[in-house]
Amino acid sequence: MNSSVKHSNPSVMVTADGVPLMVSLSRAKRKAKIRALLLVTPLFLFILVTFFIPIASMLLRSVDNEVVEETLSRTVPILQGWDQTGDTIPDETVFVALHQDFVDGYREKTIGSPGRRLNYEKPGFSSLFRKTARKAEKFEPPYQAAFIKADKKWGDINYWRVLKRESGPSTDSYYMTALDYGYNDIGERVAKADDQSIYVDLFGRTFWISFVITSICLVLAFPISYLLSILPAKSSNLLMILVLLPFWTSLLVRTSAWIALLQQQGVINDMLVWAGFLGDDNRLAMIHNQAGTIIAMVHVLLPFMVLPLYSVMKTIPQSYMRAARSLGANPFTAFVRVYLPGTIPGIGAGSILVFIISIGYYITPALVGGQSGTLISNFIAYHLQSSLNWGLAAALGAILLFAVFALYILYDKIVGIDNMKLG
């Protein structure tokens, strides 16, 4: 900053070039802010591209339904005037528009998309659209009779009710399916039968298994972290290497190792049979079920609990416990009243970290979980890769995201997010 001199007005300080001092300071602050903004811009763009845009895309895809309206652009506006509560299918006017949409869609190779979309709501639509599209150019008036002659489904009022319901630009059908709800023949929302209910139970299983994994990790990590915090540096470093060893091993290698250990003809069962704890015909089923998922995921996620606990315990002076003992407290009371409250930030950070990672885990449950050990993430991957029902996958992912946010807010109300610290 240039040295300042007095202005003609004695109360106003100016720089050597005649600029008022306050103006010069404001410019300097503004330049500093712009420089800081430019420094954080790459990080902001990275987070925007890899985090916010994918989440926004997922939320949009979970309600997007434009493919029907765009492909059947002539049919949809006319169909809105049809009374679906009656017992008759649409009149000839709708079929005339539908014929033109099918002819154009077949030529442009777009007619299959609305068929696949509607097939998620009522099986049979995909084959109906493909079959009709191949014949549509040869149809002659009256088109209603021609469509029904090509396939009797066009005379089924239930297909037309689904077509009208799902002809808007957005839909709640994906969320309805994700919550095990559907529609009856007249379009009313109804809960699915118990033998058709899938996702609500799967969400419950996911949260329950994640809670169990988090609890086991906490029980195992607490003494390990305490030992790390009180051992001399040389010994604690060696133990820390053992804790971090899973991070340096391929996830597939670790999971494959657990498969070899836990299967009925595996190492653990062989040792139990050899020691006489089990008979050869009573081997434990510890793989391809919930037990296998829990054991393997505890092994994978244990370091995520140890590290936050250790970093907090390292900051708690050992003199606190000695002071409590000297004032008459027994070891248990000193631990519960003095030491344990100081570890709450680490417990909170480790628990929420392990729990959130658990509910979104995919590879380990897919390999060792079997039918009873799979989580909601496995079904999301199935709809993305196999069934190609991306809307349902997005709805399931959005519900999982909202559930995590709800738990995060609940945690903040009960424990306080300020208490979730790493040291």
> In this predicted model, what pLDDT tens digit does every residue of 387-419 receive, in sequence order?
889 999 999 999 999 988 888 888 777 766 666
**d(C-alpha 348, C-alpha 408), whole Å:** 11
Give the start-end residues of each E strand in 277-348. Answer: none
In sequence order, what DSSP letters do the residues of 330-389 get, joined into one string? -HHHHIIIIIHHHTHHHHHHHHHHHHHHHHT--HHHHHH-TTTS--HHHHHHHHHHTS--
**d(C-alpha 61, C-alpha 390), whole Å:** 7
- One-letter amino acid at 331 equals P
Q: What is the residue extent of each domain of the chain?
A: 5-61, 67-171, 199-419
Q: Is 279 exposed, middle or buried (0-12, 13-18, 19+ CB in 10 A)?
A: exposed
pLDDT at 159 over 90: yes
pLDDT at 193 over 70: yes
Confidence of residue 9 (pLDDT cuts 50, 70, 90): low
Dihedral of alpha carbons 357, 358, 364, 366, sign: negative
Confidence of residue 421 (pLDDT cuts 50, 70, 90): low
pLDDT, position 37: 87
Strand partners, 183: 189
**d(C-alpha 244, C-alpha 238), whole Å:** 10
Q: What is the mean pLDDT of residues 206-226?
A: 94
Distances (CA, A) of 130 to 116, 135, 356: 10, 9, 43
Closest CA to 323 of 311, 339, 312, 310: 339
Which pair of structure tokens corresponds to residue 69? Answer: 């309206």
pLDDT digits (tens, 9 = 90+) for 79-111: 998 988 888 999 999 999 999 999 999 999 999
pLDDT, position 331: 82
pLDDT, position 99: 95
Max mean pLDDT among 6-20, 197-211, 246-260 falls in 197-211
pLDDT at 163 over 50: yes
CATH architecture of the region 199-419: Orthogonal Bundle (1.10)
**d(C-alpha 159, C-alpha 98), whole Å:** 14
Report the percentage of the chain scoring pLDDT > 90.
Answer: 41
pLDDT, position 253: 85
pLDDT, position 419: 60
pLDDT at 6 over 50: no
pLDDT, position 322: 83
- pTM of the predicted model, to two decimals? 0.82
pLDDT, position 16: 67
- One-letter amino acid at 340 equals L
pLDDT at 113 over 80: yes
pLDDT at 244 over 90: no
Confidence of residue 2 (pLDDT cuts 50, 70, 90): very low
Distances (CA, A) of 11 to 4, 24, 83: 13, 16, 81
pLDDT digits (tens, 9 = 90+) for 288-312: 888 889 999 999 899 999 999 998 8
Output Rg (C-alpha) for the chain, integer angstroms.
Answer: 32
Confidence of residue 116 (pLDDT cuts 50, 70, 90): very high
Distances (CA, A) of 86 to 78, 89, 157, 289, 310: 16, 8, 9, 49, 68
Q: What is the mean pLDDT of residues 347-363?
A: 88
pLDDT at 1 over 50: no
pLDDT at 327 over 60: yes
pLDDT, position 103: 94
